[in-house]
Copies of this chain bind each other. A is one copy, B any other.
Amino acid sequence: MLLRYGFLLGLTLSLLAWAESALQLGWLPAPWYAAVLGASFLLLGWQLGAWAQQHRTRHPVSDPLSLQESPITQNPGGLLIEKLVDPAAPLSDREREVLHYLAEGLSNRQIGDHLFISENTVKTHLQNLYAKLEVQRRTQAVARARDLGLIP
């Protein structure tokens, strides 16, 4: 989002600079320059207003959207870490069971009750599951699993 606004801001300023020099060189008649000037300021104000509106009362702590933070995907060398949980690895039996109940909307405690394991263990399975599916949250995991055909 910031990128978008930054890009548009830069575009506007570039347009402004171009119009300035074009006027100097005589390429651009003065009325046209005025029009470009007005349009640029209009666009600039637009972006600023939109940005301000969006950040009016929001905590600007974390970055806006961009799901798929690519949690493990970099690792260009590929040899360094690689050990913890391989995203390409198939799900284990337990993980598939947990995923099944996950998709039905059960809480961790309920999943544990169904599988006769503790809630902590469910959380561990979920963490491995998230790593394999390359997601961060349970709803994401459900969506991803559905995309992958892991869930009917």
Chain B proximity of A134: nearest CB distance (Å): 12
The reply to whether B49 and A105 contact each other, CB–CB distance below 8 Å, is no
The reply to whether B44 and A113 contact each other, CB–CB distance below 8 Å, is no
Q: What DSSP secondary structure best describes chain A's contact surface? A: helix
Chain A contributes a number of interface residues (CB within 8 A of B) equal to 48
Interface string of A81-125 (1 = CB under 8 A from B): 000000000000000000000111111011011101011000000
Compute how far the CA of A137 lies from the CA of B105 in the bound complex, rounded to whole angstroms.
7
Cβ of A74 under 8 Å from chain B = no
Chain B proximity of A106: nearest CB distance (Å): 6
Interface string of A24-66 (1 = CB under 8 A from B): 0000000000100111011111111111111001100010110
